[in-house]
């Protein structure tokens, strides 16, 4: 097959992946389609998966072309070593063409080889300066990952990072909306309880937040939650108030 004959199916595949990213398809479906397309189109690759990095550093596989990917990925997370781990923890890129002889991952390599994985490539997924996760590619044979493999993998990595970035932005937007809503509810509670206007109620919450060294959104969530619990408790007096350690000065904010 000529280069042009090879490139046309790949170009069509990448176009399909791009359309999936711009559709309303769930994130899981979009990432799985990328993993399957990577397996089917990247030279030498037999299995592919996509992992994400949570805020506290925990790595989790969220999409895979084949069940074995979850097994091999989890092995790396458990041992805290392997191309996938190295790629997402700062190297950006890690490749091995023979896990039976490579000494970089003494605990992981022999166990992966026993599972049938002989070659592997890990590529960090990132946007701007934030690490989002990794694209993990596996092969059942040695010496099958070459320059073409890497170049193709980088294309798929861009699409995977785009999907994760869009999901992250959507999540942050939802969190922002939810935060504004709960703060608004807390302001309403304070306005009613202490006969303040909206500006005074907000200033009151800010002061309590600063005095208690607690984030405003957390304070608001606590107030809303405790108020709801008190209203639902039949054995509580209607006049009972959440203990927010309110000072006289805070009550007088207007």
pLDDT at 229 exceeding the cut of 90: no
Q: Say whether both 105 and 162 belong to one domain.
A: yes
The overall average pLDDT reported for the chain is 81
Rounded to the nearest 5 degrees, what angle is found at the Cα of 210, between the Cα atoms of 209 and 216?
35
Of the residues 144, 166, 188, the one at which a domain ends: 166
Q: Say whether both 108 and 28 belong to one domain.
A: yes
Q: Say whether both 73 and 153 belong to one domain.
A: yes
Q: Say whether both 140 and 194 belong to one domain.
A: no
CATH of the domain at 56: 3.30.450.40
**Is 171 contained in some domain?**
no
Q: Say whether both 230 and 143 belong to one domain.
A: no
pLDDT at 28 exceeding the cut of 80: no
Structural domain range at position 205: 177-251
Task: Report the relative pairing of strands 93-96 and 119-127 from DSSP bridges.
Answer: antiparallel
**Is 221 contained in some domain?**
yes
Of the residues 145, 166, 187, the one at which a domain ends: 166
List, for residues 90-148, the tens digit of each pLDDT value: 888 999 999 999 999 999 999 999 999 999 999 999 887 788 899 999 999 999 999 98
**Is 84 contained in some domain?**
yes
Of the residues 118, 143, 166, the one at which a domain ends: 166
List, for residues 173-186, the tens digit of each pLDDT value: 556 567 778 888 88
List, for residues 77-88, the tens digit of each pLDDT value: 999 999 999 999
pLDDT at 23 exceeding the cut of 60: no
Q: Say whether both 147 and 201 belong to one domain.
A: no
Residue 12 binned pLDDT confidence (cut-offs 50, 70, 90):
low
Structure-block tokens of residue 68: 């074995």
pLDDT at 216 exceeding the cut of 70: yes
Q: Say whether both 185 and 225 belong to one domain.
A: yes
Task: Tell which residue, 66, 52, 65, has the closest CA to residue 125.
Answer: 52
Mean pLDDT of 34-60: 90
Rounded to the nearest 5 degrees, what angle is found at the Cα of 102, between the Cα atoms of 145 and 88?
65
Q: Say whether both 102 and 160 belong to one domain.
A: yes
For residue 1, what are the CA distances in angstroms to 7, 46, 141, 151? Answer: 10, 20, 22, 19
Between 217 and 115, residue with greater pLDDT: 115
Between CA 132 and CA 54 the distance in angstroms is 8
Residue 1 binned pLDDT confidence (cut-offs 50, 70, 90):
very low
pLDDT for residue 179: 74
pLDDT at 243 exceeding the cut of 60: no
Q: Say whether both 103 and 139 belong to one domain.
A: yes
pLDDT for residue 2: 42
Query: Contact at 8 Å (CB) between 192 and 223?
Result: no
Please count the structural domains in the chain.
2
pLDDT for residue 164: 80
pLDDT at 253 exceeding the cut of 60: no
pTM: 0.63
């Amino acid at each position: 097959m000529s280069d042009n004959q090879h490139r046309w199916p790949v170009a069509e595949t990448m176009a399909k992946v791009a359309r999936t990213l711009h559709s309303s398809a769930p994130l899981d479906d979009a990432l799985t389609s990328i993993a399957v397309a990577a397996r089917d189109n990247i030279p030498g690759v037999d299995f592919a998966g996509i992992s994400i990095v949570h805020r506290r550093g925990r790595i989790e596989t969220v999409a895979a072309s084949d069940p074995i990917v979850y097994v091999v990925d989890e092995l790396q997370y458990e041992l805290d070593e392997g191309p996938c781990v190295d790629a997402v923890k700062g190297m950006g890129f890690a490749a091995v063409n023979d896990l039976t002889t490579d000494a970089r991952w003494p605990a992981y390599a022999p166990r992966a080889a026993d599972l049938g994985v002989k070659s592997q490539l890990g590529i960090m997924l990132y946007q701007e300066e934030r690490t989002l996760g990794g694209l993990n590619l596996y092969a059942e044979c040695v010496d099958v990952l070459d320059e073409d493999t890497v170049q193709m993998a980088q294309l798929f990595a861009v699409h995977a990072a785009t999907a994760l970035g869009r999901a992250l932005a959507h999540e942050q937007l939802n969190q922002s909306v939810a935060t504004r809503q709960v703060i608004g509810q807390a302001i309403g509670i304070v306005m009613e309880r202490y006969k303040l206007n909206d500006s005074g109620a907000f200033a009151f919450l800010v002061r309590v937040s600063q005095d208690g060294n607690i984030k405003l959104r957390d304070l608001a969530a606590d107030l809303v939650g405790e108020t709801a619990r008190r209203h639902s408790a039949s054995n509580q007096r209607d006049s009972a108030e959440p203990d927010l350690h309110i000072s006289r000065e805070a009550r007088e904010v207007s």
